[in-house]
Structures are given as C-alpha cells and as structure tokens.
C-alpha cells in the first residue's frame, strides 16, 4: 500500500512513484508514436487514405468505458474483500486472545498468563504469519520458528497447507483443554466459533487468490482497449491535425491506466505498490497479542519500501 | 477455469484459446459479410438508397451498453456467488472435519481417528463429490463407491437428490452418536449448525442452476444487439466507405462478445472453459480432509483439459 | 418461469412466446403509426413544420437509459431476493425436517418416523403451500387438507394470515414436546431458530409483495419513456426519411420492452410467464420431505403451462 | 405509500396525484418561462447574442445523469433499508410473541395466555407504536396508554428515547422472569437475542433518520441541475426555434423530477405520499399479535389519506 | 455533519458554508483564468493555433464521468459503512448495558444498579470516547478520567491502542464475575458476544481509517480531471466565443467538486464539515447509558461549530 500525502497543485502531474504510469509507459509510447506517424502521413497508409470519423469511437467508447468501469468495480471489490478479511483477522485474533485469557485455565492468576494460554495465543500469531506467506507463496519458516514448540516445527514445514495445519493443531489443543477440564464445554464451543471464523478467513483469501476474473472477460476488454487506442489517430487526425498524438496520448493514458489498475487490484495479496500491506497488518496483530500477554518486547512496524507499506 | 498467463504485446491479439471468439465467429462473419455487401452497393437495397445516419446508433448504443453491462454484472454475480458457495464448502468441510475429530468419540487416541470419525469424514468428502455431479448432471457412482459403506451405496444410487440424501445420513449418524453418548448434546448442536451450512450450500447451488436470468430479459438484449449490428453498416457506409466492414467487425466483436460472455458466466457449474473448476476444488477438499485423518495417499490434482481446470 | 432452450440464428427474431413483445405490441404499433404519419407529412403539423433535431434525444436518452437501468436493477434485485427467500425455504424446510427426525422423539426407531415427527414435518409442508397461496392470493384449502389434522383445518381457514397461523401451531407443538420431555431444551432452542428462519422468509416475501418501487419513480420513468418515443419521429424524419418508422420502432421496442420487463420483475410472485415457479418449488419441497419420511408416493412435478413452470 | 393501480394509456399523462409534479411545478414553470423569453429574443441578452451550442450540455449531461443516478440509488437504498428494518420488525415481533407464548410461564394453559405473557406481548406492540412516533416526531401518548400498566405510563412519557425505554422495561421483565424461575436461562438468552434484534431495528432507523446523504453532495447535484436547466434554452434555441420551451420543459421535468424524488426517498419515515406506511405496518403487527393472544377485537387497517397509506 | 435546512430558490446558489466550493475555489479560479486567456487569444499559443474540437472531450468525458462516479460510490460506501459501524456502536452499547443490568449481579435491587454494574457500564461509555479519540488522533485523557477507576487511568494512558485496552479490561471484569459467580456461564458467553461486536466495530473503523482507496486510482482520476478541465477551453473557444470561461467554469465546478467530495467522504472520521458527528453520537450513547443507570445529570448535546455537528 502506498503511504504518501496526496501531492497538490502542479506536483500532481510529476508524481511518478505510485502512479500506474510505470506499468503502461511502453504501450503508451507505442501508441503515441503510431499517432505521430498517422499525423505525418495524414492518415494515409500505402497511398490509401484511411477514411475514418470520430463516430465509431463514440459508439464503442461508451461501451468500453462501461465495461472498464465494471471490471474496475469487480477488481476493487476483490481488493476490498481481501482487506475486509484481513480486518476480520485483526478482530478475530484479538477476540480469540481475549477468550483464551478469559475462559481457558481460569485457575491462573490474571496478570501473568499460564504457559498453555501463552502457547495458544502464540499459535494464533503463527496462523497470521503463515497465512501471509501462504498467500504470497513465500517461506514462513523463519517467522514461525519462535512461535511454535520445537517438535511441531518440522511437521508444520511438511504440511501442504500450513495455515490450515496450524488451525488444526489449535483444534487439538482445544480438545486437550476439554479432556483435561481446563475449560467449560460452553466456552469450548465459543472458542470453536472463532476458529471457524479463522477458517473462513483462510478460505476467503484462498478463493480470491485462486479464482481470477474470468479470463475471457479480461481478454475482451483488453483487446477492445488496444484496438480503440491504435485506431484512434485515424479518426482524429482530420480534425485535430498536429494535436492528434497529444490527444491520443491522454485518452490512451486513461484507458490503459484503468486497464492496468484493474489488473493490479485483481490480485491484492502480492508485493506490488498498490497491494495490501499484509506484513504490516500481521505485525500489528503480533504487537496487540503480545501486549495482551503482558510482554513488552513488541515487534517494530515494518520499514517502508519506497513509499510502500508491504 | 482457464489457467494461463495473460499474453502480452502482440500475442494478445492472436490468443485464440480461452477467447470468446470461438463462440461468436459464425455471427461475426455473417455481420462482416453483410457489411461488405452494403459497402459494395453503397447502402442501396433493390435500387433504393437506405437513408441512415449514425444518430440512431448513438441513441440506442448507450442503452445497449448499459443493459449489456447490467446483464454482465448479473451473470458475474451468479458466477461469483457460485464460487463463494464452493469456497464456503471448502471452509465448512474443514470445520466439520475439525469438529468431528475434536468433539466426537473423544475417548479415542488423537493421532489415529476412530472408525466412526473416519466414516463421518468420508461422508463429508462424499457430499462434495455428489454435489459436483449433481450440478453437472453426471453420474457420481464411481467417485462415491470408496467413500460410503457397502450397504448404503445402492440406496444412495436410488435417491432423487443424492447430496441431500448423504446429508440426511450424516444427520442420522449424529443422532446415533447422541443416543450412544459419543458426543455431548452441546457439540451435537454445533455440528448440526455445520450440517445446516452444507444444506445452505446445496440449496444455493441449486438455486443458481435452476433459475436463470429471466428469459425475456436475455431475449430483449439479444435481439437489440443483433438488430444493432446488422443495421450498423447502413449507418456508417456513407462516412466510412471501404473501412465499414472492418469497423462493423470491431463493434460487433465487442457487443457479441459481451453477450456471449454473459451467457457463459450465467451457468457457472458446467464444463465450458470459463466455468468453475468444481473437480479441482472437490479434490482439494478430499486432500485436506484425508490429510487431517493422517492418510498419506492423497488424491492428485486433476489434469488440465487444454488450458482449463475443470 | 419460462423453460425453453434459447433459440439461435434467425429463429431468435421470431420467438414470440416468452418475449415481452406480447405486452407492448399495442403501444409499439401506436408509436410506429405515429412515426409513419410524421414521415408522410415530413414532420409538419397543421401546416407548421415542427423544428426538431436529434440533440434533445441524445441529451435525454442518456438520462433515460441510466434511469431505466436503475429501475431494472431494482426490479431484478426484488426478483432475485424473492428467489433467494424461496431457496432459503427449500434449505430451512430440509434442515427442520432433519432436526425433527434427529432431535424430537428420539426413542422411536429411526427408519420409521413416529406419528409426532410425521405430524410436524407435514406442518412444514403445509407452511410451504400456504405461503405460496398467500403470495398469489389464491385459496390453499385443497392443498392443506391432507396435511393438517382434521380439527385444525377450519381454524386455519379462518386465520387472517394462514402461513403465520401454521407457524404458530408449530410453535405450540414444540411447546408440547418440551412439556412432555420429548426433546431436550437445547434442541428446542435450535428448532426454534429454524422457525425464526421460516418467519423471516414469510416476512421477507410479504415485504416484497406489499411494497412496490415508489409509485412516483415508476410514473416518472414511464412518462419520460413515452414522451421520448412519441416525439422521436420529429427528430429523426429530416435525416432518415422513409426509414423513420422502422428506426423509431426499434428504439421504442428497446425502451418500452425494458419498461415492461421492469414491471414484470417487480412483482415476482404472480402467475405471469417471467414469474417465479412457486408451485414447482413447493412440490419439490414436498417431495424431499416425504422422501425423508420414507414415503414412496411422491408428488409429481407440475405440468408446464405453455413453456412456463408455475 | 401510494396505493393505486398504474394508469394505462393516455391517462398516464394526466395522473397528478402521487406524481412528483406537485413538488416541482414552480421551478418547472420558471424554467419554461425563461426558455420562452430566450426563444422570443433569439438568445440575445441586452443586445448581446449568447453564443452557445448543445456541446456543453452533452458534456455535462452525462455527468449529471450519472450523479443523479448515483444519488437516486443511494436514496432508494435508504428507503429500502428502512422498509427492510420495518419488515424485520414484523418478523421479530411475531417471533418474540411466539417465544413468549412458548417459553415463558409454561405452566399456564396454552389456549389462554397468562397475565405475564399478555403484559409482555403488549409491550412489544407498544414498542412498535413508540418507534413509529419516535421516527415521525409525533406524540405516542394516546397509542401507548392502553398497552402499558398505569404506573409506567408517566415514566414512559418522561423518557428521552421512548422506544429504548420500553425495550429496557422488557429487559427488566425478563430479569424478573429469570429471578422467579418463570423461564429457563437458556430461553432467556434466546429471548434476549430477539430484544437485541429490536434494539438493532431502533438503531438502524435512527441512523437513517439522523444522517442524511452528505449535504455538500446534494448541494452540488442540485446546483448543477439548476444551472443546466436554466442555460439549456440558450443552447437549443438556434436549432429548435419555437419548440425550445417545450423541449426544455421535458428535459427539466426529468432532471428536476429525479432530484425531487431523491429528496423524497432520502427520508422515508415521514408522512409524504411516497413515504413508508409505518402506521399500517404497526397496526398489522398489533393485529397479528393480538390474534396470537386469542383476542378477537382486532384493530382496523388505517384509512387511506388520498391514495396514500400512512 | 452539516445540520441545516436545504436552501430553496435563489438562495441555493449563494449558500457558501457546507459547499464544496471552499475547497476547490483556487483551482476553479485558475481554470477560469486560463479559459479567459484562451478566449482572448482565440486558442492561439505562441502564434500557433491549437486545433481542437469538442470530440476528444466527448470521448474522454464519458469515461471520466463513469470513473468519478465509481470513486464517489466507493467513497460514499466508506462513509456509510463508517456510519453503520457507529450506529452499531449505539445499538451494541445499549444491549451491553441492558445485559449488564439484567444478567450480572442479579442479587442487587433493580432500580439502583450495583457498583460493579455501574463500573462496567462506565467502561462501555469509556470505550466509546476512546474510540472517537483513537480515530481522530486526539487525546482522550480528559474524557476518560471520570469514567475509569483511578488506578487504571495511567495504564490506559500508556496503552498503544486505548479502545482495545478498555475492551480487554472489560473482558477481565467478566472473568472476575465468572470466578466470583456473579453471573451464569451462559450469560457470560452472551455478554462476550457483545464484546466481540465492540471489537468488530473497532476493527472495522481502523480498517476504514488505515486503508484508503488505492493511491494509483485516485491519482489517475485526479490527473484526468485536471487535464480535461485545463484543455477544455481550446475545444470550446471556436464555437462558444466569449462564453467559454463561463462554460468551462461550470463544467470544472462539477468535475472538481465531485473529485473533492470523493476526497472528503473517503476519510469520514475527521473534523471536516462533511465528516461524521462522532462526538455527538458518543454523547448520545453516554446519555442513554447514564439514563439507564438512573442518573439524572445527563451530558448536553455538543454545540454546533458553524453549521456542523462534530
């Protein structure tokens, strides 16, 4: 996520970092060069004047704008749903932590948590980091090591779906609590509901990651945008003359930009500048939960990479 | 679901597989031939010059774009709701499995599940496969055989609604657990809630499958799109001349493509390239649940058919 | 609901059944005749040439398209919410049936339900039929007779709100179960939640039925569409000549069609071709529940009326 | 809510009641008179010809239509959310009534409710009426008197938030039931959930009533619509001549009408013709609950005021 | 939130307070001056006539309107979600208060709450104020002091996340209630659900505050709007002449206004005129809860700042 003040005035036009311009500069240049060639030849190709008016662009432009708009809404909905799931993760892990400290091992003295309580809360933190690495396809080994008991590290390493494995061991832990009467059945069911909620978050994130917007849709919008921008100079050159490349540049910037932005928001869990700051959120959760355990050695917020929070 | 990298640069225009072009090539060709004929006769039909300007296309084009857009949103919502239901199926079956292993037959030694636990988890897997075949109207016999006890196979075969039948036998199993005191009433109710959730998924999928977007709506949008594209050459030929068939081709590609895409996404449970990969999801669930049971002989992911995951 | 294959190719234009054309043919004819008159008089009314250009239609057309689009979305949302409520009814009645067979009268031998279980499941079926007749304002007497005990038929007949009355007698039944210890309080509360869900379905359907889209909105969109279509020939006749009536016909077909479709979907519980197949859904529920009771004499699916499922 | 048949044919244009025309006739008249003046002077103001073409109106018209459309959707969503909350009120009060009769004072003979049951159900009815008056800022004294015990009337009168006060006394009643063992703790929690639901309805209605669409948004849309309509004659007079006032009238009718309709739907709890029929819904609830108590002296539906249900 | 009557008639145009005009007046002035310069030079820059027609503005204008519309919807959804969360806060704190008075310390005499009850309700009020200051990044010290026991004030001051800290101490309180048998485990779980709900509100507000609409999107829309307005005079001057600056002013007002409004609604928790009245809502909650405790010294509603409720 890009963390910077909105530039004002003229600087707005010269902000490059965080702009979508980086991803579309190649095709924007090609389009403008093409427009320049069309302008210089007055729209003539191999001695044949290409007869074109702005009318077709008006007809197709409305459709294109509406469909780009739809694709953008769908991508943004995925982005925002991803954010909601991670917001829910913040909420659920805090609730789970509060419930573990309130309902499990209630014989312990409140200010200092019992070893079992600490172990369970650590597992919730481990789930958060494992989910982050699972979505970004990176290795969670280093982050998980200090949070899991030694004998479980290797088994977690071997698991196909690491966050799910951690969730199951939380379930097993809960089972042991029940068997050893360290919690009341009623509270066990209440804790189990929050485990369900974690499973829901995991499943929701996997759904967003694994199912993109249907390929045929993206392809259709893509192709229409390209054809539109490549043909546009022929339609404008007769009335706009030497201004054609400039105007084509602006219009292409809008359409290519929105197309590229749709691509960027469609998969919100990566490490690109506009993606969600999963690392920062995971560290916030770790900080909140360690604070609730009474620890004082809290993790630092992650450094900015460029202007971006990862 | 199409699994392939987005082609970049020029290759974008020559990707044929996964494109909607396959389904609209016939009518696209007809439209372009018609446009060619109109161009060659200068818009004259039986010696009568058809007087037509771009204005009507501008008036009707906005309406058409908005209505195609609405239909597309509605279709995509159905597609995405179908995906959410199957995502929920992943979540609920994992939760149910965790609950069965945590709350049923708690006398057993945790690492190895009891026969009853295994039997119940197998039934959850069977539900997943039965639902897939139910939605695709194919025969689940082969997939269900290894998952159900021998005496139930034939009765499942005869059931009108197989996934519902499996759900009811899970309910009966739960009843026996209660009668034989193998679970606490409180947990029985909690398990029952997850059975409710499975029933909700079944009902939701049936709803999407059985109730298309109202026929009259589809017909109206269809007809308008056809009339629009067939009449378009008459409106453009006077100003565009020999470019008419080409421009008509591009505009028709957009409108026919979106119309065909709406049709494709409306029924997301089939075997077409843009449909949901139900087989792959069902096998993922089977793998996760068998892993939780401690089995090591996990199912392989299904092979790609073309570029498609089914 | 119309049940037919989408016609392809030319047949698309000659499908009459299920088309909205039936409902708008009168006003479409009037509009085209008016356009013909305008064409013949070259837009002169009482020797006065009506000066009109396409510009006003372009200005108002965008607004009209957007507002028709909004109204259509709102109507479709009502249609789809109605469908969801009936889908929920399928789910809830199956769940309730499973719960009655699992949690009530658990002393009975599982394969054959006890008389109390059968009586309660029958009441759930009766609720379904009563709701259908309640929404369609038809008489449920015949359908309910075989499902209710003889002494309750007359009281049900006299009730103001029959589905609500049946729900209340299910509540009374539950109370008796509790008093006679035929179910555990915990399960009683769980059953009660599903009764809440039935009450929610009843209330949701009543809300859709009783509260249309605000009348002033419908009136405004209606009037604008009519004025637009009636004045359109004056704006087009100068440039389109003898093609005017034809073009006016197509544009009017789109706008009148969408308007009529909005009307049709706004009240989805009737017996019109595009309405929801409540009878078919109710009979599916009856079939599923009777099958779960072990009965073999299941109701047949309802016959098609034309191409329509009612 | 306006209760009338949709007029058909020509009568559609002469329906005045329920139309938004009543609220915009003044400004519509001003706009048309202005257009008439512009027409008579051929767009000359103080001997200066105002050069204006339709182009700016086309540019701004799309924006205006989209923003009016957005505002209308937002207003309609508020209207429909209000309706859903009141629909939920119907459902929750029926459920609460069923639960009171099923779970409280179970020693009483079912057909005739105990005094405590009656007292609690009456309070639910009182909540409904108090909420209605709370939202409409009218005095509930007369409606509440027969529903509350004499000693509570005055205290209810003095309460800042009357529906909330009644909810709290229902909570106190529940507390007494628990203390006197007239209900099982399990059911108390279940009843309490429905009290939560009533509190949610109260809070939701207050939210809609107290937080309008941001003032700056309304102001911006308002101003743009006015400027658009007042300047329109200058843009049309050159091409439309004497038809200008008529065309300006139609376009202004659409834009002013939608603007006024947005205002009307934004606050759905008032007594205007397009507002929600809170009185009718409250009386329906009273009827249903009294019927469930076995009373026969049910309230009559409220008389229509004009064509409107209040 | 701006609290004022909608101005009618001519005054509508001269309302300045609450208008978005304050925030865009600088750039509006620049644009109009630029348009004036273009008008005076007849679109000639350094002796070079800039050839420009309205066509490009028509092409890009639709796209811009749709994307501004999308951004506005997204911003408004954030605003309205923020309002819903605070509405939920009103509801949940009332429910929690009712539950504390009903289910905790049930030995006390109802009219006067026990010290423990009062202490817990005060903490709920403290949570409300802490959340408000947390979102506005102001110091809650003064507001919290009278609501918390002396020994907790300093610890609350030191907490990283103050509302979360207060929530955790409510959880600890609940734990003590359980240990000292001052509430039934069943009710403890029910109270805990409402603490979950408070945690959900806190997490939801933090999500809105910390994750803006993706920066690249805002930048793209911003830049397009600026380029559009700055180039507009060149496109209009040939046909509109001396009216150009005026028309450019109106169009820029619409686009800049919507852009600025999107910015304003995106972060709804600040102290700007269109932001949510968090202080007023928090004081309403304080009033309701103190009234429920039987106190008579209720807080006054906050004074208006200008026309704004904060």
Chain A residues with CB under 8 Å of B61 CB are: 59, 62-63
Contact A128/A162 with Cβ under 8 angstroms? no
To the nearest whole Å, the CA of C6 is away from the closest chain D CA by 32
To the nearest whole Å, the CA of B230 is away from the closest chain A CA by 15
Chain D residues with CB under 8 Å of E61 CB are: 59, 62-63
DSSP H or E stretch at residue D187: helix D185-210
Contact A43/A233 with Cβ under 8 angstroms? yes
Selected residues 64-123 of chain A with any CB under 8 Å from a CB in chain E? 64-66, 68-69, 72-73, 76, 79, 83-84, 87-88, 90-91, 94-95, 98-99, 101-103, 106, 110
Of D62, D178, D217, the CB nearest to E65: D62
Is residue E10 very low, low, confident or very high in pLDDT (cuts 50, 70, 90)?
low
Work out the percent of chain B whose per-residue pLDDT is above 70. 93
Q: Is the pLDDT of residue D70 over 70?
A: yes
Q: What CA–CA distance (Å, rounded) separates B100 from B116?
A: 9
Neighbours of chain D (3+ CB pairs under 8 A): C, E
Burial label, B45 (beta-carbon count in 10 A; 0-12, 13-18, 19+): exposed
E243 contacts D50? CB cut-off 8 A = yes
Give the pLDDT mean for D248-273.
Answer: 88
Strand ranges inside chain D, DSSP E: 44-45, 48-49
Structure-token match 């016609």, residue found: C7
Rounded (5°) CA angle E116-E117-E119: 65
Encode pLDDT of D194-221 as tens digits: 888 999 999 999 999 988 888 888 888 8
Interface test with E, best of D203, D225, D226 (most E CBs within 10 A): D203
To the nearest whole Å, the CA of B114 is away from the closest chain C CA by 23
Q: Is B239 on the interface with C (CB under 8 A)?
A: no
Residue of B nearest to A198 (CA): B91
Chain B residues with CB under 8 Å of C17 CB are: none
Strand-pairing partners, residue B48, are B45
DSSP H or E stretch at residue B44: strand B44-45
Q: Is D174 on the interface with C (CB under 8 A)?
A: no
Contact B112/B77 with Cβ under 8 angstroms? no
Interface test with B, best of A131, A192, A214, A237 (most B CBs within 10 A): A214
Q: Is C228 on the interface with B (CB under 8 A)?
A: no
Give the pLDDT mean for B265-289.
Answer: 89
D87 contacts C63? CB cut-off 8 A = no
Q: What CA–CA distance (Å, rounded) separates D90 from D162?
A: 19
B20 contacts A216? CB cut-off 8 A = yes
Chain B residues with CB under 8 Å of A172 CB are: 101-102, 110
D84 contacts C56? CB cut-off 8 A = no
DSSP H or E stretch at residue B48: strand B48-49
- Residue A180, pLDDT score: 82
Q: Is the pLDDT of residue D232 over 80?
A: yes
E253 contacts D218? CB cut-off 8 A = no
Work out the percent of chain D whose per-residue pLDDT is above 90. 28
Residue of B nearest to C184 (CA): B185
Encode pLDDT of E20-74 as tens digits: 778 888 889 999 999 999 889 887 777 777 778 888 888 888 888 878 888 888 9
Q: What proportions of chain E, in percent to the nearest 5, are helix, strand and coil?
A: 70, 0, 25
Give the pLDDT mean for A287-298.
Answer: 86
Contact E79/E261 with Cβ under 8 angstroms? no
- Residue E106, pLDDT score: 65
Is residue E279 very low, low, confident or very high in pLDDT (cuts 50, 70, 90)?
very high
Selected residues 32-71 of chain C with any CB under 8 Å from a CB in chain D? 50-53, 55-56, 58-60, 62-64, 66-67, 69-70
A58 contacts B4? CB cut-off 8 A = no
Encode pLDDT of C78-137 as tens digits: 999 999 999 999 999 998 998 888 777 765 555 578 888 899 999 999 999 999 999 999
Q: Is D203 on the interface with E (CB under 8 A)?
A: yes
Contact D307/D3 with Cβ under 8 angstroms? yes
The count of C-alpha atoms lying within 13 angstroms of the C-alpha of D177, restricted to the half-sphere facing its C-beta, is 28
The count of C-alpha atoms lying within 13 angstroms of the C-alpha of B61, restricted to the half-sphere facing its C-beta, is 26
To the nearest whole Å, the CA of D301 is away from the closest chain E CA by 31
Between C269 and D185, name the one with better pLDDT.
Answer: C269
E57 contacts D62? CB cut-off 8 A = no
D129, D131, D134, D138 alpha-carbon torsion, rounded to 10°: -20
B186 contacts C187? CB cut-off 8 A = no
Selected residues 179-198 of chain A with any CB under 8 Å from a CB in chain B? 179, 185-186, 189, 192, 195-196
Largest interatomic CA distance in chain C? 92
Selected residues 204-223 of chain D with any CB under 8 Å from a CB in chain C? none
Residue of D nearest to E97 (CA): D168
Encode pLDDT of B28-84 as tens digits: 999 999 999 988 988 777 777 777 888 888 888 888 887 888 888 899 999 999 999
Contact A279/A302 with Cβ under 8 angstroms? yes
Q: Is the pLDDT of residue A200 over 90?
A: yes
Q: What CA–CA distance (Å, rounded) separates E72 from E80?
A: 12
Neighbours of chain A (3+ CB pairs under 8 A): B, E
Residue of C nearest to B170 (CA): C98
Contact A173/B101 with Cβ under 8 angstroms? no
- Residue A14, pLDDT score: 66
Q: How many CB pairs under 8 A join A and E?
A: 169
Q: Is the pLDDT of residue D111 over 80?
A: no
Residue of A nearest to E165 (CA): A292
Residue of E nearest to D190 (CA): E190
- Residue B14, pLDDT score: 66
Chain E residues with CB under 8 Å of D164 CB are: 94, 288
Structure-token match 């005191």, residue found: B181
Q: What CA–CA distance (Å, rounded) separates E165 from E155?
A: 9
Q: What CA–CA distance (Å, rounded) separates A141 from A153?
A: 8
Mean pLDDT is highest, among B247-256, C7-16, C212-221, D189-198, for B247-256
Q: What CA–CA distance (Å, rounded) separates A222 from A256?
A: 9
Chain D residues with CB under 8 Å of E186 CB are: 185-186, 189
Strand ranges inside chain C, DSSP E: 44-45, 48-49
Is residue E151 very low, low, confident or very high in pLDDT (cuts 50, 70, 90)?
confident
DSSP letters spanning chain A: -B--PPP-TTHHHH--TTSTHHHHHHHHHHHHHHHHHHHHTTTEETTEE----SHHHHHHHHHHHHHHHHHHHHHHHHHHHHHHHHHHHHHHHHHHHHHHHHHSSTTS-TTS--HHHHHHHHHHHHHHHHHHHHHHT---HHHHGGGS-HHHHHHHHH-SSHHHHHHHHHHHHHHHHHHTTSS-HHHHHHHHHHHHHHHHHHHHHHHHHH-PSPHHHHHHHHHHHHHHHHHHHHHHHHHHGGGHHHHHHHHHHHHHHHHHHHHHHHSTTSSSTTS--HHHHHHHHHHHHHHHTT---PPPPPPPBTTB--
Of B63, B196, B202, the CB nearest to C254: B63
To the nearest whole Å, the CA of E300 is away from the closest chain A CA by 33
Q: Is the pLDDT of residue A184 over 80?
A: no
- The per-residue pLDDT of chain A, averaged, comes to 85
Chain A residues with CB under 8 Å of E70 CB are: 69, 72-73, 76
Contact A51/A260 with Cβ under 8 angstroms? no
């Amino acid at each position: 996520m890009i963390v910077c003040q909105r530039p004002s005035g003229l600087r707005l036009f010269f902000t490059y970092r965080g702009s979508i311009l980086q991803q579309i500069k190649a095709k924007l240049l090609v389009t403008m060069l093409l427009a320049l060639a069309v302008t210089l030849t007055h729209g003539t190709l191999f001695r044949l004047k290409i007869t074109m008016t702005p009318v077709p662009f008006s007809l197709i432009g409305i459709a294109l704008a509406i469909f780009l708009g739809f694709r953008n809404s769908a991508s943004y909905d995925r982005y925002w749903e991803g954010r909601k799931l991670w917001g829910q993760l913040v909420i659920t892990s805090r609730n789970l932590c509060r419930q573990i400290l309130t309902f499990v091992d209630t014989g312990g003295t409140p200010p200092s948590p019992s070893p079992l309580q600490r172990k369970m809360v650590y597992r919730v933190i481990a789930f958060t980091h494992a989910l982050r690495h699972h979505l970004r396809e990176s290795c969670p080994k280093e982050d998980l090591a200090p949070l899991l008991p030694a004998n479980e590290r290797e088994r977690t390493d071997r698991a196909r779906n690491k966050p799910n494995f951690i969730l199951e061991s939380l379930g097993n832990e809960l089972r042991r609590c029940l068997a050893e009467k360290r919690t009341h059945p009623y509270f066990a069911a209440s804790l189990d509901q929050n485990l369900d909620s974690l499973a829901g978050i995991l499943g929701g994130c996997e759904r967003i990651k694994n199912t993109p917007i249907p390929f045929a849709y993206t392809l259709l919008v893509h192709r229409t945008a390209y054809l539109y921008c490549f043909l546009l100079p022929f339609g404008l050159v007769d009335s706009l003359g030497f201004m054609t490349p400039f105007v084509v540049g602006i219009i292409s910037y809008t359409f290519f930009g929105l197309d590229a932005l749709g691509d960027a928001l469609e998969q919100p869990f990566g490490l690109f500048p506009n993606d969600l700051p999963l690392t920062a959120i995971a560290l916030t959760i770790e900080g909140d939960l360690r604070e609730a355990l009474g620890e004082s050695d809290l993790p630092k917020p992650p450094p900015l990479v460029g202007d971006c929070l990862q």
